[in-house]
Amino acid sequence: MRVLVQGAGVAGLTAAFELAVRGATVTVAEIRHALGGNASWFAGGMLAPWCERESAEQPVLDLGRDAAEWWEAVTPGQVTRAGTLVVAAPRDAGELERFASRTSGHRRVDEDEIALREPDLAGRFRRGLLFPDEAHLDPRQAMAAVHDRLSAMGVEFRFDADARHISGFDRQIDCTGMATDDDRLRGVRGEMLILRTPDVSLSRPVRLLHPRFPLYVVPRADRRFMVGATMIESHSGGPVTARSMIELLGAACALHPAFGEAEIVETGVGVRPAFPDNLPRVEARGNTVAINGLYRHGFLLAPAMARQAADLVFNHDGTKELAHETVGQRRSA
């Protein structure tokens, strides 16, 4: 079966992999001239379904639980399994209690254990939560790794290619995110920074709870740290605003004052596609299967969505049109 995957973001890459390993002849068409520039490129890369459950619904935990395993298997060496540390300033202790009561899969850590796990945070926080089963990756390296793996498997990549003008495939997988024509989708703007400093070292993503400016810092290679991310109801992909920058930097400095001396090596904006319930969907229409609405959970939920899409493609007789159906997890309430 010949399948055209439209879009080389995290949804497209994971879908291409699931289809290719099941024997499809896969072509990936991407409108940009290279990997990157999409929402996935600006993601945090946290595989943190237990933490996300604080504001996300149960399907995010159910679908995201196995994500770290998938990424480890497909992109060996890319995943760091060191958990997530959640801390709050003493005056925001209530936020920590709130977070703990909304989530599972964590244990409480005291000042000594925080110092042991993250020596640079020693003496800065007296209480925290450790989510030991969570993991993280560098989205850009992981995307490149999937790309290379797919190329080695014989998947063809066409960059600068508008998929609307490409034909001759049995199936199409629409992974174009905000570019797709779907009235239900809205954009949720996320702004992020990449800082570089030799003065701070972290082994795992750290979330700093704050009633107004919650923040996460994800350590990356070369002394870089991804600091994110705002959540604004807007489809604007314009530059980071001064206000958001101030909030992000203020929170980063509250986590560790040495971030004040860091270099800002990059600022970025991603527009996350979201359905009204902020949960993803895999839907079939005619010969097209669409994966969309990954919201702020691209790397976390893409593997599960890719599997569902591949199931849809392969469980149907190639001569029959796909029925209009939804496999996405809908909220039950």
Partner 1 sequence: MFELLGTTLPSRLLLGTAQYPSPAILADAVKASGTSVVTVSLRREMAGGRAGEKFWSLIRSLGVRILPNTAGCHSVKEAVTTAKMARDVFGTSWIKLEVIGNHDTLQPDVFGLVEAARILCEDGFDVFPYTTDDLVVAERLLEGGCKVLMPWCAPIGSALGPVNVMALRSMRGHLPGVPLIVDAGLGRPSHAANVMELGFDAVLLNTAVARAADPVGMARAFGKAVDAGREAFSSGMLEPRDVAVPSTPTIGRAVFS
Binding site for partner 1 (CB under 8 A): 55-57, 98, 101-102, 185-187, 189, 211-212, 232-238, 241, 243, 274, 276-279, 331, 333
Which residues, 6 or more positions from 141, have their beta carbon under 8 angstroms from its beta carbon? 78, 221
Q: Minimum CB separation from partner 1 for residue 97, in Å?
A: 12
Instruction: Tell me the closest approach of the beta carbon of residue 92 to partner 1, in angstroms.
Output: 12
Closest CB to partner 1 among 64 and 219? 64
Asked if residues 195 and 265 have their Cβ atoms less than 8 Å apart, the reply is yes
In angstroms, rounded to a whole number, what is the distance separating the alpha carbons of residues 135 and 233? 28
Write down the least CB distance from residue 96 to partner 1, Å: 14
Work out how close the CB of 278 gets to partner 1 at its nearest, in angstroms, rounded to a whole number: 4
What DSSP element (H or E) covers 3? Answer: strand 2-6
H/E element holding 326?
strand 322-326
Closer by beta carbon to partner 1, 213 or else 314? 213
Of 33 and 102, nearer to partner 1 (C-beta) is: 102
Q: Nearest distance from residue 234's CB to partner 1, in Å? A: 4
Tell me whether residue 70 or residue 99 sits nearer to partner 1 (CB atom). Answer: 99
Question: Least distance (Å) from partner 1 to the CB of residue 37?
Answer: 17
- Which residues contact residue 317 at a Cβ distance below 8 angstroms, ignoring those fewer than 6 apart? none
Query: Which residues neighbour 156 within 8 Å (Cβ) at sequence distance 6 or greater?
Result: 26, 27, 28
Q: Which is nearer to partner 1, 101 or 315 (CB)?
A: 101
- Integer CA distances (angstroms), 196 to 216, 224, 237, 267, 305, in order: 15, 4, 24, 12, 34
Q: How far is the CB of 156 from partner 1 (least distance, A)?
A: 35
- Whole-angstrom Cα distance, residue 104 to residue 178? 32
Distances (CA, A) of 24 to 277, 314, 321: 32, 9, 17
Q: Which residues contact 161 (CB under 8 A, 6 or more apart)?
A: 29, 30, 31
Nearer to partner 1, 152 or 333 (CB): 333
Q: Which is nearer to partner 1, 57 or 266 (CB)?
A: 57
Using an 8 Å Cβ cutoff, are 256 and 265 in contact? no
